[in-house]
Amino acid sequence: MSTSERRLRSSAWFGMADRDGFIHRSWMKNQGLPHHVFDGRPAIGICNSWSELTPCNAHFRRLAEAVKRGVWEGGGFPLEFPTISLGETLMRPTTMLFRNLMSMDVEECIRANPIDGVVLLAGCDKTTPAQIMGAASVDLPTIMVSGGPMLNGKFQGRDIGSGTDVWRFSEEVRGGKMSLATFLEAESCMSRSNGHCMTMGTASTMASMVESLGLTLPTGAAIPAADSRRYVLAHMAGRRIVEMVHEDLRLSRVLTRPAFENAIRVNAAIGGSTNFVVHLLAIAGRVGVPLGLDDFDRLGHDMPLLVNLMPSGEFLMEDFYYAGGIPVVVKALGDLIHRDTPTANGRTIGANVADAVCYNDEVIRPLDRPLKERSGIAVLRGNLCPNGAIIKPSAATPALMRHRGPAVVFETSEEMRERIDDPTLEVSENSVLVLKGTGPRGYPGMPELGNMPMPKRLIERGITDMVRISDARMSGTAYGTVVLHTAPESAVGGPLALVRTGDSVELDVERRRLHLHVSDTDLAARRAAWSPPAPTHERGYANLYVQHVLQADRGCDFDFLVGGSGAPVPRESH
């Protein structure tokens, strides 16, 4: 139904000629708004995750101004509002602890206010899924404008990438191959413009997910934050959201099962972050689209890696944009993509990419010359992870994809940090590092500790990778033969809790197997002797989190947030 045939939602606030209408309009007029903006035009919420504590989103006030210009031009009425923001680099113990809190903030702020359509402004890792989760549970017309990646880092005559080169430099310092002074000099060279991490880390993965789901205008994922075209995109999104309100193009009409399948395939082709899994599962849960862990493997395991970006490749997001960005990838995937899924601009994804041209086939490889034949995310099963675990083969060492070795177990991340460089630690390149207590409930918040550091003495011998297993996540900018998201996690009594140093652990990615070579009898005896860790949080949000968070194979949403409640709020406040 178009808006000529139905009342706008905001008219229940602004369209009344009574006492309540007076209150709703009068206080708004203290901002200098003339009476005619309450004439029945769409009220567009601009949901802004700006914060100086989230440096990746620090330019969002300017971005919001560009959106507002577009909204006014399109005949709408922009209303910017803040939400909590989640800065990946500063927040402790981990931003993932607060993703669901942010989604609640976004959901309730949208629903409680006179808003007909929403523009979401997100950038840093968790801000993107949190906003989509919250908005999806309200289900108004919604479009996202991501903040865009930073320009390429430049250091000593070469490009360096957010995160990926931090991990590399840090290991080089620990191995004595880089001086501390050189390491510290790289700081200002890596992050030299506004924007989020410019590797294909989690932020770029999330922005690409948004574009492949159809929730932003074409090319929205890759335009650098410092490029004026990012502001043109924001302006055009402001214009477009007004049309989306008139068309009643709600999130649930875009977020269909085929759109999720497209996102999984695109994520494989771009070498996206493993964090994609928990976030996409959580978003699907909000809109009631059935999606399981095995869908990621089934749809993504035979996908070629086309995009040559760190950490799986060598280039960065700025290069990706100049090469053509996500539209080129979607076009290259041809029939592997559902081309008739609707997108925010009113056209199908197939129509949006029909004229896409690749300008650099080293950055975006053609289908017949991929960077790697197989990409995607492999879902492992076995007695160590009955509900699954994941690994990103494109970031792993091929020789370790089939490996059996003795476990070196750390009960906590603190123990791991304390002992990893201990010269007396019995560890070799054949060992399998096992870290417990880093899952959703155990930490709590499932931090990005899965790519635990290599033991210093192995680095000094030139060893750069070994098999590592945990119930944690991993930074999207990281790499290595790292098994993540083991479910159930150790803190709830998953089999990971029962592993002991010296146990033989077998990883076989080709066969999707993760097996602990301990007899069922011995495991039963260990289970009988196991007791859960003492609760660490007795009050506050962390306590709520621990009580209600779902396991990684279900996206780590809260059990009571799955699904949506729509937009209606029938009761008045006065």
Among 141, 148, 201, 271, binds ligand FES (CB under 6 A): 201
Nearer to ligand FES, 51 or 341 (CB): 51
For ligand FES, the closer CB: 138 or 209:
209
Total interface residues for ligand FES by CB under 6 A = 10
Q: How many other CB atoms are there within 10 angstroms of residue 456's CB atom?
A: 17
Which DSSP state fits 4? T
> Strand 117-122 relative to strand 77-82: parallel, antiparallel, unpaired?
unpaired
Cβ-based neighbour number of residue 246 at 10 Å: 18
What 3-state DSSP class applies to 402? strand
Pick between residue 196 and residue 473 the one whose CB is nearest to ligand FES.
196
Footprint of ligand FES on residues 38-67 (CB under 6 A)?
Answer: 56
Contact call for residue 147 and ligand FES (CB under 6 A): no
Residue 519 has a CB neighbour count (10 Å cut-off) of 9
Shorter beta-carbon distance to ligand FES: residue 48 or 162: 162
Q: Which stretch binds ligand FES (CB under 6 A): 194-202, 358-366, 372-380, 433-441?
A: 194-202
- Cα–Cα distance measured from residue 288 to residue 290, given in angstroms and rounded to the nearest whole number: 6
- Between strands 468-470 and 482-483, the pairing is parallel
Q: Are 220 and 207 in contact (CB under 8 A)?
A: yes
The amino acid occupying position 406 is P
By the rule CB under 6 A, 196 interacts with ligand FES = yes
CB-nearer residue toward ligand FES: 272 or 564: 272
Using CB under 6 A as the binding rule, whether residue 484 contacts ligand FES is answered as no
Pick the closer one to ligand FES by CB: 124 or 349. 124
- DSSP state for residue 551 in the 8-state scheme: P
Distance CA 395, CA 125 (A): 19
CA distances to 81, 297, 324, 440, 567 from 378, rounded to whole Å, are 40, 5, 28, 20, 37
124 part of the interface to ligand FES, by CB under 6 A? yes
**Candidate segments 195-203, 257-265, 271-279, 548-556, binder of ligand FES by CB under 6 A:** 195-203
Stretch touching ligand FES by CB under 6 A, among 45-53, 193-201, 415-423, 489-497: 193-201
DSSP per-residue letters across 418-482? HHTT-TT----TT-EEEE-S-STTTTTS--S-SSPPPPHHHHHTT-----EEESS---TT--SSE
Site string for ligand FES, 328-367 (x = CB under 6 A): ----------------------------------------
Among residues 197, 266, 283, 420, the one that binds ligand FES under rule CB under 6 A = 197
DSSP 202-242: HHHHHHHHHHHHT-S-TTTTTS-TTSHHHHHHHHHHHHHHH
Q: Is 89 in the site for ligand FES (CB under 6 A)?
A: yes
Rule CB under 6 A: is residue 473 a binding residue for ligand FES?
Answer: no
Q: Of the ranges 196-204, 212-220, 222-230, 393-401, which one interacts with ligand FES (CB under 6 A)?
A: 196-204
* Pair 309, 207: CB distance under 8 Å: no
Contact between 496 and 469 under an 8 Å Cβ cutoff? The reply is yes
Nearer to ligand FES, 88 or 557 (CB): 88
Regarding beta strands 402-410 and 504-508, do their DSSP bridges make them parallel or antiparallel, or are they unpaired? antiparallel
Torsion, Cα 311 312 316 321, to 10 degrees, reads -140
Site track 268-307 with ligand FES (rule: CB under 6 A), x = hit: ----------------------------------------
| Closest distance of CB 376 from ligand FES, Å | 22
Binding-site string for ligand FES from residue 159 to residue 188, where x marks contact by CB under 6 A and - marks none: ---x--------------------------
**Minimum distance between the CB of residue 544 and ligand FES, rounded to whole angstroms?**
25
Select from 41, 46, 50, 88 the one that contacts ligand FES (CB under 6 A). Answer: 88
Q: Quick check: 265 binds ligand FES (CB under 6 A)?
A: no
Stretch that binds ligand FES, among 197-205, 232-240, 328-336, 505-513 (CB under 6 A): 197-205
Please identify, using beta-carbon distances, which residue of 175 and 220 lies nearer to ligand FES. Answer: 220
Task: Give 59 or 246: the residue with its C-beta nearer to ligand FES.
Answer: 59
Q: Is there a contact between 166 and 137 (Cβ–Cβ < 8 Å)?
A: no
Where do contacts with ligand FES occur on this chain (CB under 6 A)? 56, 88-89, 124-125, 162, 196-197, 201, 203
